[in-house]
Amino acid sequence: MSNTQITSQAEKLALIRESERMTRKQVAELTGINYNTYAGYEQGKVKMSFDAGMKFFKPERFRKYRDWFMFDETDPAGGQIAPALAHIGQDSTTLHHSDQKTG
């Protein structure tokens, strides 16, 4: 169990986007979610609906974060990871491998 859990949906969305080095506009275009709607999710103005969540995790690029986003769980062997910028349950001695590709 990690000692630092991020519970804010908005914060998790921002960490995913920033870890993928994408703009909000790029995320909106990739997922098919309206830009203003997505920006509202990331700013915490409104919660993402189930349907929007399905759109968000449909692109292969974001699927690896699904379990972390929904359950605060990771399974690297199963392809489920936390965003590089999240640092959940990790200390500075275990971050050196973050440049490795998965999949």
* CATH superfamily membership of 9-85: lambda repressor-like DNA-binding domains (1.10.260.40)
* Euclidean distance between CA atoms 20 and 25, whole angstroms: 13
For position 68, what pLDDT does the model report?
92
Domain range summary for the chain, segments of one domain joined by +:
9-85
For the chain, give the longest Cα–Cα distance. Answer: 40
3-state secondary structure of 44: coil
Task: Judge whether residue 103 has pLDDT over 60.
Answer: no
Task: Read off the pTM.
Answer: 0.74
* DSSP label at residue 95: -
Name the pLDDT band for 87 (thresholds 50, 70, 90). Answer: low
pLDDT band of 5, cuts 50, 70, 90: low
Q: Is the confidence at residue 10, as pLDDT, over 70?
A: yes
Any residues with CB less than 8 A from the CB of 80 and at least 6 apart, and which? 64, 65, 66, 67, 68, 73, 74
